[in-house]
Amino acid sequence: MSKLLEIDNLHTQFFTSAGTVRAVDGISYDVEEGETVAIVGESGCGKSVSALSILRLIPNPPGRIVQGSISFMGKDLATLSDEEMRKVRGREIAMVFQEPMTSLNPVLTIGLQITETLQQHLGIDREEADKRAIDLLGKVGMSDPERRLKQYPHHLSGGMRQRVMIALALSCEPKLIIADEPTTALDVTIQAQILELMKNLTRELGVALIIITHNLGVVARYADRVNVMYAGKIIESGTAEDIYHRPRHPYTLALLKSVPRMDQPRKAKLDPVDGQPPDLTKLDDGCSFRPRCGFAIDKCNASIPNLESVSDGHISACFEKDKLTQALEASS
Amino acid sequence: MSVDSLPREKLMERSRPDQEKEILIKVSGLKMYFPVTEGAFITRTVAHVKAIDGISFDIKRGETLGLVGESGCGKTTTGRCILQLEKPTAGEIIYDNLDLGKLSKEEWRPLRQRIQVIFQDPYSSLNPRMKIGDIISEPMYVHNVEEDGPARVKRVRELLSLCGLSPKFADRYPHEMSGGQRQRVGIARALAVRPEFIICDEAVSALDVSIQAQVINLLEDLRDEFNLTYLFISHDLSVIRHLCHRVAVMYLGKIVELADCDELYDNPLHPYTRALLSAVPIPDPTIEKQRAHQIVKGEIPSPINPPSGCVFHPRCTRAVDRCSQGIPEFREVKPDHWVACTEV
Ligand SMILES: Nc1ncnc2c1ncn2[C@@H]1O[C@H](COP(=O)(O)OP(=O)(O)OP(=O)(O)O)[C@@H](O)[C@H]1O
Ligand SMILES: Nc1ncnc2c1ncn2[C@@H]1O[C@H](COP(=O)(O)OP(=O)(O)OP(=O)(O)O)[C@@H](O)[C@H]1O
Ligand SMILES: [Mg+2]
Ligand SMILES: [Mg+2]
């Protein structure tokens, strides 16, 4: 397998009257052909902004990529002209946006939106595009695909809009799909159908998938690698097994503990991570998780832990990562 | 709202509204058919989308009813009909002895405060030109919940932090926030006017599991403290299991099963409910990689031309001949366990 995407030390910031929001604060990771990388992390920690940065879709002003490089199939995306970037978007890298209504045009029919994209990127005629669109809508589990083409977004249910977005992303057979919460509005059976569909693309065509999701069950089933983010940084990364069975960062551990599980007895109360997420305009020189961390020591106030290897392919940014192992062993 | 002062540890048993408790809302025979039109200038109706096709349920005061079902089966439309955002084709909605369909605008006014909704799509339900603080305080002003300005400002801050957001967000605009942050603004806005009934339409789906846990605990605490009633629409069956007293399962505009939460999860009877429960992914890669997933096979049926007989029969593994003929009666097979299937 070869590297399709390489992100190195990416920093994306928003310059607002209330200060500089350090939404993405130095993240690096690679994605290989055919690989599925999941990104998980607290709401507001920079997952969507990091994805939008790859596609150069950060609204400027107030936002800007201030540092770092993103290379896709060996090309540095920052050096492409706007025209070249437009070709990459949709054709080579497709994005499923978190909120479908932000990217579907409310005054155009579903059919027009899909067929236009198809015609533009694949150079096929209207009739052929219609046929493809119907086929795609069927694949993502929409009823009456033909009639849907004539409908407007507000005629569709939340999950149907989400599936239109997914159909659009798949339409041009991209090399990389970035899916931001692609299945939140879908019931579990359709969710399974769509994730299997995407997984098959990764197996058969070597398409790579970056999937941002809060659903730890989906991550467990589909991800080859999991990046856990907190306050603009990747704080742990490893295989799904590493992350679920051998977490080496206190935030990851807390995250795993807060999810209600169907295979376990119901709890009286769920266990959220106590405390507030940090203010991204006021990050200091210490670890940003320390105010909420049960393992924090003095050193955590003074310096930011680097990502260090704990085992092959498993990295964590915590000074006390070995303590965590002991604590986990003691509790099991 | 002194939620923090509530005891965090509660008994396993959830406080349940007792049987005799008053019914707060009763929906009977609700239908919502959307016309399908053709023609650009002279439009004519060629068919109808049967988004809801005769559903009935009730919710007691203090109870949480979960509503689950396939994407597009009519859950959001049900909520919109209760709020009279759609004019139902047929059926009746009685809320606290008021027939909602027959109320005048004037009579609706107080109800707009008593009934709140957390919309499925946070982005399009927040005014992009208003600051978060104003979005949350506007309904307080409209419904006279908090009289003076400073009290409203204080309450906005309180609500934001209850939902896990820094009070500083009051000065931001919706587009300056992440998806989950926006969703919590919708929750804070719904709570602002101290409602008694909240329709939560995928209210926590954009939140990570930790903040989701925080918001669910908040909803539970409010329910215990103020006896709130929820209609909780969600695709997350583990969340539904955690929060709800009873659960209704919908498929293609109809309720196919309705039972107490534990009963439904321990003893699902309708084949569609079983398929749903078996498809829930478990957050454990070792378990997940060994599990065979049963995907519901077959074409997703059209709500314009629903299948004859039982609407689920073309995709049902247990279907027999008669399933395609008569519509199965929604019957009580055990006390409080209702199901629309002849083969159980
Ligand atoms: N235009 C903007 N101006 C100021 N801050 C912004 C802007 N856009 C995003 N942010 C902030 O950047 C941070 C990262 O946002 P992002 O959308 O990446 O979060 P996320 O991890 O995707 O969260 P969620 O899970 O809730 O979608 C958030 O704290 C958000 O408030
Ligand atoms: N204004 C409308 N005009 C025509 N059809 C509509 C309209 N609103 C909803 N529908 C249709 O009604 C059906 C039910 O939609 P609804 O939004 O209630 O589904 P849902 O159960 O909330 O689904 P999801 O889980 O995907 O949000 C769908 O087939 C949808 O296309
Ligand atoms: Mg996001
Ligand atoms: Mg809906």
Q: Which residues contact A75 (CB under 8 A, 6 or more apart)?
A: none
- Here the CATH number for the domain that contains residue A226 is 3.40.50.300
Strands A308-311 and A314-316, sheet pairing: antiparallel
CB-CB neighbours of A139 under 10 Å: 16
Q: Summarize the confidence of residues A128-135 as an average pLDDT.
A: 93
**Mutation pick for ligand 1 pocket among A22, A42, A45 (CB with most ligand atoms within 8 Å):** A45
Using a CB-CB distance cutoff of 8 angstroms, which residues of chain B are in contact with residue A98?
179, 206
Pocket of ligand 2 (CB under 6 A): A 155-160, 185; B 34, 49, 51, 71-77, 120, 303
| Atom number in ligand 2 closest to CA B76 | 22
Q: Summarize the confidence of residues A75-102 as an average pLDDT.
A: 90
Task: Answer yes or no: are the C-beta atoms of B163 and B169 closer than 8 Å.
Answer: no
* Confidence at residue B297, expressed as pLDDT on a 0 to 100 scale: 77
- What tokens does A77 get? 């995306």
Would the pLDDT of B6 be above 50?
no
The whole-model pTM stands at 0.91
pLDDT band at A23 (very low <50, low <70, confident <90, very high): very high
* Confidence at residue A117, expressed as pLDDT on a 0 to 100 scale: 87
Q: Summarize the confidence of residues A33-53 as an average pLDDT.
A: 95
Q: Which residues contact B228 (CB under 8 A, 6 or more apart)?
A: B62, B195, B196, B197, B198, B219, B222
Residue range B20-56, pLDDT digits in tens: 678 999 999 999 999 988 777 788 888 899 999 999 9
Residue nearest to atom 29 of ligand 1 (CA): A44
| Atom number in ligand 2 closest to CA A156 | 31
Q: What single string gives the DSSP state of each residue in B129-151?
A: TS-HHHHHHHHHHHTTSS-SHHH
Please state, in angstroms and rounded to a whole number, the distance separating the CA atoms of residues B167 and B154: 10
Q: Say what the ipTM of the complex is.
A: 0.89
pLDDT band at A141 (very low <50, low <70, confident <90, very high): confident
Task: Answer yes or no: are the C-beta atoms of B253 and B73 closer than 8 Å.
Answer: yes
* Confidence at residue B17, expressed as pLDDT on a 0 to 100 scale: 58
- Per-chain mean pLDDT for chain A: 91
Task: Answer yes or no: are the C-beta atoms of B208 and B180 closer than 8 Å.
Answer: yes
- Which CATH homologous superfamily contains domain B3-15+22-339? P-loop containing nucleotide triphosphate hydrolases (3.40.50.300)
CA A329–ligand 4 middle distance (angstroms): 43
A10 assigned to some structural domain: yes
Report the percent of chain B where pLDDT is more than 90: 69
Report the percent of chain B where pLDDT is more than 70: 94
- What tokens does A111 get? 């059919």
C-alpha A196 chain-centroid distance:
17
Report the percent of chain A where pLDDT is more than 70: 99
pLDDT band at B9 (very low <50, low <70, confident <90, very high): very low
Residue of higher predicted confidence among B200 and A257: B200
Would the pLDDT of B270 be above 70?
yes
Interface of A with B in 255-314 (CB under 8 A): 255-256, 258-263, 266-273, 276-277, 279
CB-CB neighbours of A240 under 10 Å: 24
Please state, in angstroms and rounded to a whole number, the distance separating the CA atoms of residues A95 and A199: 16
Residue A274 DSSP SS3: coil
A74 assigned to some structural domain: yes
A43 assigned to some structural domain: yes
Domain total of chain A: 1
Q: Summarize the confidence of residues B216-233 as an average pLDDT.
A: 94
* Confidence at residue B19, expressed as pLDDT on a 0 to 100 scale: 56
* Confidence at residue A185, expressed as pLDDT on a 0 to 100 scale: 86
Please state, in angstroms and rounded to a whole number, the distance separating the CA atoms of residues B139 and B187: 13
* Confidence at residue B21, expressed as pLDDT on a 0 to 100 scale: 76
Task: Assess B11–A contact: CB distance below 8 Å, yes or no.
Answer: yes
Residues A268, A270, A275: CA angle, nearest 5 degrees: 135
- Per-chain mean pLDDT for chain B: 89
* Confidence at residue B100, expressed as pLDDT on a 0 to 100 scale: 95
- What tokens does B107 get? 């009579």
Q: Which residues pair with A64 in a beta bridge?
A: A13
Would the pLDDT of B337 be above 80?
yes
- Which residues form the domain of A265? 3-92+174-331
A261 assigned to some structural domain: yes
Report the percent of chain A where pLDDT is more than 90: 66
Would the pLDDT of B263 be above 50?
yes
**Which spans in B143-208 are helix H?**
149-162, 179-192
Please state, in angstroms and rounded to a whole number, the distance separating the CA atoms of residues B188 and B37: 38
Please state, in angstroms and rounded to a whole number, the distance separating the CA atoms of residues A296 and A324: 11
pLDDT band at B5 (very low <50, low <70, confident <90, very high): very low
Would the pLDDT of A329 be above 70?
yes
A119 assigned to some structural domain: no
For residue A272, the chain B residue with the least C-alpha distance is B210
Would you list the domain boundaries of chain B?
3-15+22-339
Would the pLDDT of B14 be above 60?
no
| Nearest Cα to Cα of residue B49 among B77, B27, B82, B79 | B77
Residue range B61-86, pLDDT digits in tens: 999 999 999 999 999 999 999 999 99
- What tokens does A145 get? 């695909």
Give the closest ligand to the alpha carbon of residue B173: 1
A42 assigned to some structural domain: yes
Using a CB-CB distance cutoff of 8 angstroms, which residues of chain B are in contact with residue A277?
164
Task: Find the range with the poorest average confidence among A298-302, B26-30, B233-237, B279-283.
Answer: B279-283
How many CA atoms are closer than 13 Å to the CA of A89, on its beta-carbon side? 18
Residue range A211-250, pLDDT digits in tens: 999 999 999 999 999 999 999 999 999 999 999 999 999 9
Residue range B112-146, pLDDT digits in tens: 999 999 998 887 889 999 999 999 999 999 998 88
Residue range A290-302, pLDDT digits in tens: 999 999 999 999 9
Of B77, B283, B303, the CB nearest to A259: B283
A151 assigned to some structural domain: no
CB-CB neighbours of A288 under 10 Å: 25
Would the pLDDT of B315 be above 70?
yes
Please state, in angstroms and rounded to a whole number, the distance separating the CA atoms of residues A130 and A204: 25
| Nearest Cα to Cα of residue B210 among A198, A96, A229 | A229
Q: Which residues pair with B37 in a beta bridge?
A: B45
